[in-house]
Amino acid sequence: MTSGSATDPAHAHHDPAPSHHDPAHGRAASPAVSAGSAGLAHVDTAIWTRGLTKRYGARRAVDHLDLQVPRGALSGFVGPNGAGKSTTLRMLLGLIRPSAGHGHVLGEPITEPDRYLHRVGAMIEGPTFHPGLSGRRNLDQLAVLRGIGGWHRARRQRRVEEVLGQVGLGERADDRFSTYSLGMKQRLGIAAALLPDPCLLILDEPTNGLDPAGIREIRALLGQLAGGGMTIFVSSHLLTEVEQICDHLVMINGGRMLFQGHVTDLLAAEDPRILMIPEHDGDARRLAGLLGDKGLRVEIDLRTGPPNASATRGRLPVVTAHAPEGLAAHLNRLAMHAGITLRSLRTHRPNLEETFLRVTGEIDGDLVRTAQAGQAPDGSVPPPAGAGLDPAHSRGGAT
Ligand SMILES: Nc1ncnc2c1ncn2[C@@H]1O[C@H](COP(=O)(O)OP(=O)(O)OP(=O)(O)O)[C@@H](O)[C@H]1O
């Protein structure tokens, strides 16, 4: 996949690096990107890069990345371990120099980070604070170091109180940092990043190592900050989190762009499916043939059944038709007319995690193969057999 912005004519002449469509550049681009923010110029974006590349020896940690994160977005930056997320964030923050390519942050070139860093808050590694000092004292010292409030002590202290309130640490602000939970430590790290009242917040895996309650806290905090108009670019490997809080997504693998755009665009492009389990195992092939004859792409997989399943060795053949939800009743009718009774029929649209796995090529596109009976690929429990059927036709269909 590639970004729609790769063809931005306004900036094409600046690009010193080959596009990642360039056949000479190696691997073919992954299939189909929908980029909801395609064609944004760097003035409309908080983060904009062209051909951004970082090489370590022969290895390309980041490989011709064309980023465009719209202003005001809560954007999730996702990719497997080693995908190049941290390296990208470090280049955006002027911590390391790109090997090739160029970019802008808040409209300023990344070659001159001094021009934008005072408007950027960042938490790149786990926050480091003095363990023996309180949260408030730690923040105050950081504020002094960063010149927050200038020479005005009261102004600086006011800002410290504001950020403590924003991250919900006001009541524990006088406790020593060493007594904080991991979630509180992360929130203090975000408070530190907020000190300069940034318009762009860059966070590298802020939920790393947190328990579900801590993750929820960070999620709520980011939602609240984004609601205030700040652009947030947050890397994460927790896709369910990203799906829940981010409106925009940048997906990379092997340093290369797989997708960027709106989460809803990515999910809408996913192939909806109808999953059917015939009452008699022997009917699975016949059902698949029947649906295949109607022009549908169909697969049969074996799914481990519940302990009391009557199916052979506890394995149930699942017939998956790549078809929209609206066809469910029709497929049920087709099965019924062929004398095939369905023990279950349900629709499924891949979630972000499945989409991510498919796009990154870690599986071949059908997570249903690995799902356990009683649990959908997204972890949800499927509806009881027969649920979702057209009542008018349910008698002879699924039971
Ligand atoms: N200083 C370095 N020297 C050599 N290789 C590096 C250096 N920094 C990163 N890399 C390599 O670059 C690639 C991308 O690493 P990076 O840390 O950016 O990935 P990531 O997506 O942030 O992964 P993770 O989620 O595991 O932190 C990896 O193969 C990594 O080993």
Domains of the chain, earliest start first: 4-268 (3.40.50.300), 273-393 (3.30.70)
Residue 329 · residue 393 · CB < 8 Å: yes
Q: Which atom of ligand 1 is nearest to the CA of 252?
A: 21
> What is the Å distance from ligand 1's center to 320 Cα?
38
Q: Which pairing describes strands 100-105 and 200-204: parallel, antiparallel, or unpaired?
A: unpaired
Best mutation site among 59, 78, 87, 252 for ligand 1, i.e. most ligand atoms within 8 A of its Cβ? 87
- Atom of ligand 1 minimally distant from the CA of 255: 14
For residue 205, give the ligand 1 atom closest to its CA: 25
Q: What is the pLDDT along the chain (399 residues), one digit of tens a residue?
A: 333 332 232 333 333 333 333 333 332 233 334 344 455 666 679 999 999 999 999 999 999 999 999 999 999 999 888 899 999 999 999 999 999 999 999 999 999 999 999 999 999 876 689 999 999 999 999 999 888 877 788 899 999 999 999 999 989 999 999 999 988 999 999 999 999 999 999 999 998 888 888 888 888 889 889 888 899 999 987 788 888 889 999 999 999 999 999 988 888 777 889 999 999 989 999 999 999 999 999 999 877 555 444 545 567 889 999 998 899 999 999 999 999 999 999 998 888 888 887 777 654 333 222 222 333 333 322 322 322 222 222 222 332
Q: Is the ipTM beyond the 0.95 threshold?
A: yes
How long a stretch of residues is the chain? 399
> Which residues have CB under 8 Å from 229's CB, separation 6+?
72, 199
- Both tokens of 344, joined, read 């279950």
Q: Calculate how far, in angstroms, residue 124's C-alpha sits from the geometric centre of ligand 1.
A: 13
Ligand 1 atom with minimal separation from the 90 CA: 18
* Ligand 1 centre distance from Cα of residue 61 (Å): 6
Sign of CA dihedral 340, 345, 351, 357: negative
Q: Which two tokens stand for residue 40?
A: 């944004």
49 by DSSP, 3-state: which?
strand
Kindly give the distance from the C-alpha atom of residue 84 to the centroid of ligand 1, in angstroms, as a whole number.
6
DSSP 3-state of 334? helix
Query: What is the reported pLDDT for 340?
Result: 96
What atom of ligand 1 comes closest to residue 88's alpha carbon? 18
**Residue nearest atom 8 in ligand 1 by C-alpha distance:** 87
Strand pairing report for 248-253 and 100-105: unpaired
Task: Kindly state the helix (H) or strand (E) to which residue 292 belongs, with its residue range.
Answer: helix 283-293
Q: Tell me how far the alpha carbon of residue 169 lies from the centroid of ligand 1, in angstroms.
A: 32
Neighbour tally for 153: CB within 10 Å:
12
Q: Which of 55, 56, 251, 257 to mutate to test the pocket of ligand 1 (most atoms within 8 A of CB)?
A: 56
Q: Identify each DSSP E strand in 32-78 by its residue range.
A: 45-56, 59-65, 68-70, 74-78
Residues in contact with ligand 1 (CB, 6 Å cut-off):
56, 61, 79, 81-87, 237
